[in-house]
Amino acid sequence: MSRLSLAVGTPLCAMVAMTAGVDGQQYGPPRGALVVSGGAPTTTHIIDRFIELAGGPDAPIVVVPTSGGEDHYDQSCACLEPFRRAGAHNLTVLHTRERAVANTDAFVVPLRSARGVWFEEGNSWRHQDAYLDTKVQSELFALLDRGGVVGGGSAGARIQGDYLPLRSTEPAERAIPEKDWRRGFRLLKNVIIDPHVLVRNRQFDLVVMVNEHPDMLGIGIDENTAIVVQGDRFEVVGTTYVLIYDNRSHIVPEGPGTDGAGRGHFYFLRPGDTFDMATREAFRPGSGRQPFVRVARRPWQDE
């Protein structure tokens, strides 16, 4: 059995106390799982996998649409429809724009019994303003610690990471201090997540971002594609590609006639591929568990 195929509730690091302030997590959560989607799904691959990780159609799932532009969301929210179509029926919408509300015991009651929480697409700064450093964020770590799953697409993917580069216009006045504007929930640590990466021709942007933050691993995720993270490993699901930006490595040119080609600063993973964030190694089914060839260990700054 591969490390990635362990059940969601299996303790990958039994001695780690999983809270928002504990640094035992190197990249992914020691327990539970993350589903980090590039957004704009056109098939059911990603939601189906999320529901499976939550425990199936009967599992209590909370959907958070706060990244959207409406002031009010309730159980009539269209955000529930993809989950209903996939068979889930124990669904709760959780939303506020008030940090004081998000920091109350009454507000987080649904999170304490949830097996899955999904953050919707929209503007990630709205998720930040409402929930960063509140009881909502603390309950996400508690959910993972009991073997649950946190997921989200686009803005809901970015917020799970460590550093949120500026990607859209943000208001001059925010509900959180300016020093925190680039911080995510850190469910996935030491990582910059960029969704919509290929369809919006963003494939070169993360090179700049990782150069500016050399302690970070860059992960670009195309639309209708996601990574399923368990521990420090993830699997690619969906229909297109995930791009890896590892400033410790290059892709070297392949074959005769490529001598003039430069070294590549990113490479592609397809559905079914897995990646170990701790060792920075990618694996493809059928490769005999051998890491990708042509990934040369040479730091970018040594060019």
pLDDT per residue as tens digits for the range 11-40: 333 333 333 334 455 899 999 999 999 999
b (16+ CB within 10 A) / e for 124-139: bbbbbbbbbbbbbbbb
Report the chain's C-alpha Rg in angstroms. Answer: 19
Mean per-residue pLDDT pooled into runs of 10, the chain (303 residues): 33 34 71 97 96 98 97 96 97 98 98 98 97 98 98 98 91 96 97 97 96 96 98 97 95 72 86 96 83 86 67
| Distance between CA atoms of residues 245 and 227, nearest Å | 15
Residues 282, 292: Cα–Cα separation, whole Å: 6
Locate the domains of the chain by residue range. Answer: 3-242+273-293
Q: What is the pLDDT at residue 16? A: 33
* Token representation of residue 8: 């969601």
Contact assessment for residue 196 and residue 222, using Cβ atoms and an 8 Å cutoff: yes
**pLDDT value of residue 296:** 86
Residue with tokens 């529930």: 80
CATH architecture of residue range(s) 3-242+273-293: 3-Layer(aba) Sandwich (3.40)
What is the side-by-side strand order in the sheet with 274-276? 91-93, 61-64, 116-119, 149-153, 33-37, 225-230, 233-238, 274-276, 281-283
